[in-house]
Amino acid sequence: MRQYVPVPQPDPCWTRSVFVAGWQSVTGELAVTSPFSGRRLAVVGMCSTREVDQALAASLAAQREWAAVRQERITVLSAAADNVSANRDELVAWLIHETGSSVAKAQLEVDLVTAELREAAELAKLNLDRPLPGGKRQSTTHRVPIGIVAVIAPFNFPAHLAIRAIAPALALGNAVVLKPHPYATISGGLWLAGMFEATGLPPGVLSVIPGDAEIGEALVADPRVGQVTFTGSTAVGQWIAEVAARRLTPTLLELGGNNALVVLQDADIELAATCGGFGSFYHQGQVCMSTGRHLVHESRIEAYVQALTNYASRLQVGDPADPKNDLGPLINARQLAQVDDLVRRSIATGSELVWGGTTSGLCYQPTVLIDSTRKSPAWQEEIFGPVAVVAPFSDDQDVVTLVNEQGPGLVASVLCADVDHGAQLGARISCGIVHVNEPTVDYQIGAPFGGWGSSGNSTIGDHTSNVANFTKSKWFTRRPTMPQR
């Protein structure tokens, strides 16, 4: 039986408040509204640079003691996973109503949050000290916490992409200052703060400071910050890298990409269209892994476009709180206008509109374009909306050139019957992630995730990457007596 997901009730602690060594009221305020209905859901605090300073001071005071209590870190992270699991329906509801997530997407995201917390608890158990050959002295290499990690999170998977950085950073003994996206301040910030507070995280170890770009710049530029983790657009990532570079602050940037799906001549077209449609339309196309470019062998393009159009036509678009709907609204009017503008400009430059291209409120109909010239704005730019752009290729060399012509990227997929052939072709594609016979939208807990070039500067997710990202190396020697020279 289908059940509409009701609007959640805000915690009174959130009202005109931020989380800095506990809940504190601030003069600035930010209205949280539903992108589908426009209904006001809550009024939360909006930080000033004063709260940024307070958050960093609290982190500085709390971090050293937190780093010294490994068992407490394991306990808190395990308890946090249990808390999220026990309150799954509440976070699901906030993701739906605050960010326009479908019911299925919101449920998946909460399950990913739980899994990331459990993975981080295991990370905290690792012994990171390594002995080195030392002769008459004891020589070791240690991994020690960075100190304060600034996390700037996006709106599309706000809880998961915040926790994906927060959890390993905490596990390895760091304090964290989180700036959630203004369109996901609860599901990507304040809800998580309340959850950690309930599990016994010491005050000051995590701060949550909603704010605008000025707050982000103050956080990135502050010398007390030891590392900045950012998930979002390439343009903003480049700006953050420039600001952080003035103080040589390390950055972990997980950025966007105009990801490609390659459909080889021997692929099952119906299955390929399902992979392609999922990759382009899942969560309204607002995923860094979304399929932007569909490259289909020229002998199969007509059949593929028809199958993809059939897939798009079956998707239900509307209120994300209704489980019957596959897609909800885009995050805001600006994003809707950008997507529609890309589609209109692409049609004007010769692309054929096969399906979609219409709006209702902030909802955008799943859209299929054919761009035989591969020169349209929708082909050249990351869309971040439910738009699939299809173009033909002739042979392996042609498709590798076309995939790689936009530079190193985040993810690509190759769909085929001959898996060895698909893997050989995939090895020639220049990006951080390659899938054979899977959609571009794919995630695995514990796997390294990250793009190349303008899609990012590192990986995150596996233990090796997380240790490299959230600790620094210290070489340590000692000998019983001083040597005679």
Average pLDDT of every residue of the chain: 97
Q: Which of 473, 470, 467 is nearest to 150 (CA)?
A: 470
The beta-strand segments (E) located in 169-209 are 175-179, 206-208
Note the residue count of the chain: 485
* Dist CA 411 CA 421 (whole Å): 18
CATH of 260-436, picked from 3.30.465.10, 3.40.50.2300, 3.40.309.10, 3.40.50.1100, is 3.40.309.10
- CATH superfamily placement of domain 17-255+456-475: Aldehyde Dehydrogenase; Chain A, domain 1 (3.40.605.10)
Instruction: Write the pLDDT tens digit of every residue in 399-448.
Output: 999 999 988 899 999 999 999 999 999 999 999 999 999 999 999 999 99
Q: Is the pLDDT of residue 1 over 60?
A: no
Report the alpha-carbon distance of residue 65 to residue 204 in Å, rounded.
11
Give 134's pLDDT tier (boundaries 50, 70, 90). Answer: confident
Catalytic residues: 254, 288
* pLDDT score of 54: 98
Residue 109: pLDDT above 70? yes
Name 455's Cβ contacts closer than 8 Å, sequence gap at least 6. 234, 255, 256, 257, 288, 408, 409, 410, 431, 432
Task: Give the tokens for residue 136.
Answer: 């008459």
User: Looking at 69-78, 280-289, 339-348, 474-483, which range is the least confident one?
Assistant: 474-483
Under the phi-then-psi rule, with left for phi > 0, alpha for psi from -120 to 50, and beta for the rest, what region is 318?
A: left
Q: What's the rounded Cα separation, in Å, for the pair 203 and 61?
A: 10
pLDDT tens track for 296-316 = 999 999 999 999 999 999 999
Q: How many helices (H) and strands (E) does the chain have?
A: 15, 21
How many Å apart are CA 149 and CA 252, to the nearest integer?
10
Cα 427 from chain centroid (whole Å)? 25
State residue 135's pLDDT score: 82
Q: Provide the H-helix boundaries in 383-444.
A: 396-404, 419-426
Q: Are 53 and 173 within 8 A, CB to CB?
A: no
pLDDT, average across residues 466-481: 95
Beta carbons within 10 angstroms of residue 157's beta carbon:
29
Whether the predicted pLDDT of 450 surpasses 80: yes
Q: Check if the beta carbon of residue 139 is closer than 8 Å to that of residue 93.
A: no
Q: What are phi and psi of 52, to 5 degrees?
A: -60, -45
Q: Where are the domains of the chain?
A: 17-255+456-475, 260-436
In the chain, the percentage of residues whose pLDDT exceeds 90 is: 96
Q: What is the pLDDT of residues 10-37, one digit of tens each?
A: 999 999 999 999 999 999 999 999 999 9
C-alpha radius of gyration, the chain, whole number: 23
Give residue 168's identity as a one-letter amino acid code.
P
Q: Helices 158-171 and 103-123 meet at what angle, rounded to 10?
A: 10
- What is d(CA 357, CA 78) in angstroms, rounded to the nearest whole number? 45
